Amino acid sequence: MGRKYRIAVIEGDGVGPEIVSEALRLLGELGFDAEYIKIDAGWKYYEETGKPIEDDALDKIRSTDALIKGPVTTPVGPGTYRSVNVYLRKTLGLYANVRPFKSFKNVSLRELDVIIVRENTEGAYSGVEERFDDKAISYRIITRSATERIVRFAFDLARKLGRRKVTVVHKANILKESDGLFRNIFFEIAREYGDIEHDEVIVDAAAYKLVKRPQIFDVIVTPNLYGDILSDLVAGLVGGLGLCGSAQIGENYAAFEPVHGTAKSIAGKGIANPIGEIRAAALMLEWLGEKYSDEKLKKLSRAINSAIVRAVEEGKVLPQDIGGTAKTVDVTNEIIFKSKTFLKHSP
Ligand code: NAI
């Protein structure tokens, strides 16, 4: 019998609870053996308790093998709580935000296969801000240690996955010190990876080129804010935010979530696209499978990803955000059915 995993779960806000429960149902149906430890966090919890996340959340999370989460509301502006996501990334040391994007035939606006690796702990999200009456200052911190770590991560990932090129996206022509440091460290480290091509693109040109000709990109490594913005842009090209999943990886721990937010206007209607959350679950299985040399989990992850591609490209059971009429539960059922078929026919 395989290992029984302990997984922390944050259901989140808006559509979070309905898509997280679907992803966990799918994992159960496909034989993933896990004990789930629920952590309360987000807007609803804040309204009830005055706190954005449980006091002992970190201890509970650290006692588990990985965290799967739904989107959590981050209120806008001063006077409210700071992002639960940023708090978790920093305290758990989840320094690499990895977002793989691959186009679907018949659905995507462009043909592409791009992985965005975003520095996840500093940059514009350092959280160091000051306000002086009508002037506000945000510190955009870039350090050598965090930059070396994320750049090495991107090159190692490219090598592991047999990818051809890593591109650094920055704005070092204007932000000469901060982005200049990020860029220069990238070129220093690139020399250690002679087998992988490397180049650079300024962030505004990157937005343009991603739309015009995304095929020129392979793996992108970039500071925090650019990665956040560009990944929504690429999600749009793929066909919708609801299709894309994300991994946040540290030295010994990782968290998995969809790329999208709480999609409040469709919450509770049973029509949210569950695929981003299911992709997150598949990324979790892949990471756990590597960490614990668990071949069963790797196989499960491959089956789920193949099932998603087949379901979306076949187009018979599509969620509403990509032009279909299917309910959340029907989309999950379709992916469960197709995953089981892939599992039956794979060695
Ligand atoms: P959003 O991603 O919630 O919504 C953008 C658009 O995409 C909306 O039209 C929404 O209906 C649609 N959409 C997103 N996910 C969908 C799904 N699964 N199925 C169908 N349609 C979907 O972005 P927005 O409005 O900027 O953010 C709302 C809240 O989510 C904010 O409080 C924000 O801070 C939070 N957020 C949380 C994230 C996280 O926890 N990782 C990530 C991004 C945003």
Residues 118 and 216 in one domain: yes
Which residues, judged by CB distance below 6 Å to any ligand atom, belong to the binding site of ligand 1? Answer: 15, 71-74, 85, 241-242, 257, 260-263, 265-266, 272-273, 276, 321
Residues 147 and 115 in one domain: yes
Specify the pTM. Answer: 0.96
Number of domains in the chain: 2
For residue 322, CA distances in Å to 109, 262, 272, 329 come to: 11, 17, 11, 16
CA 258 to ligand 1 center in whole angstroms: 9
Determine the Cα angle at 277 with ends 268 and 61, to 5°: 100
Which residue CA neighbors atom 13 of ligand 1 most closely?
Answer: 263
Domain that holds residue 183: 109-238
Chain centroid to Cα 334, Å, comes to: 23
Residues 135 and 230 in one domain: yes
Residues 134 and 233 in one domain: yes
Determine the Cα angle at 149 with ends 250 and 153, to 5°: 70
CA 265 to ligand 1 center in whole angstroms: 9
Can you give the pLDDT at residue 79? 78
Per-residue pLDDT reduced to its tens digit, 196-210? 999 999 999 999 999
| Residues 279 and 27 sit within 8 Å (Cβ to Cβ) | no
Pick from 82, 262, 271, 332 the residue to mutate for probing ligand 1's pocket: most ligand atoms within 8 Å of its CB: 262
The Cα–Cα gap between 162 and 164 comes to: 7
CA 60 to ligand 1 center in whole angstroms: 26
Which residue CA neighbors atom 11 of ligand 1 most closely?
Answer: 263
**Residue with token string 């919450």:** 267
Can you give the pLDDT at residue 346? 81
Ligand 1 atom nearest 19 alpha carbon = 18
Residues 88 and 160 in one domain: no
CA 15 to ligand 1 center in whole angstroms: 9
Residues 200 and 261 in one domain: no
Can you give the pLDDT at residue 78? 80
| Residues 33 and 2 sit within 8 Å (Cβ to Cβ) | yes
Which residue CA neighbors atom 4 of ligand 1 most closely?
Answer: 263
Q: Which of 174, 205, 238 is the last residue of a domain?
A: 238
CA 242 to ligand 1 center in whole angstroms: 9
| Single-letter amino acid, residue 194 | G
Residues 113 and 234 in one domain: yes
Can you give the pLDDT at residue 148? 98
Which residue CA neighbors atom 9 of ligand 1 most closely?
Answer: 263
Which residue CA neighbors atom 32 of ligand 1 most closely?
Answer: 73
Can you give the pLDDT at residue 93? 95
CA 233 to ligand 1 center in whole angstroms: 13
Residues 203 and 249 in one domain: no
Residues 269 and 189 in one domain: no
Residues 184 and 272 in one domain: no
| Residues 26 and 282 sit within 8 Å (Cβ to Cβ) | no
Which residue CA neighbors atom 24 of ligand 1 most closely?
Answer: 261
Query: Which regions in the chain score pLDDT beneath 50?
Result: none
Which residue CA neighbors atom 43 of ligand 1 most closely?
Answer: 261
CA 345 to ligand 1 center in whole angstroms: 36
Can you give the pLDDT at residue 168? 98
Residues 118 and 230 in one domain: yes
Residues 298 and 199 in one domain: no
For position 12, which CATH number holds? Answer: 3.40.718.10
| Residues 190 and 89 sit within 8 Å (Cβ to Cβ) | no
Q: What is the C-alpha end-to-end distance of the chain, expressed in Å?
A: 18
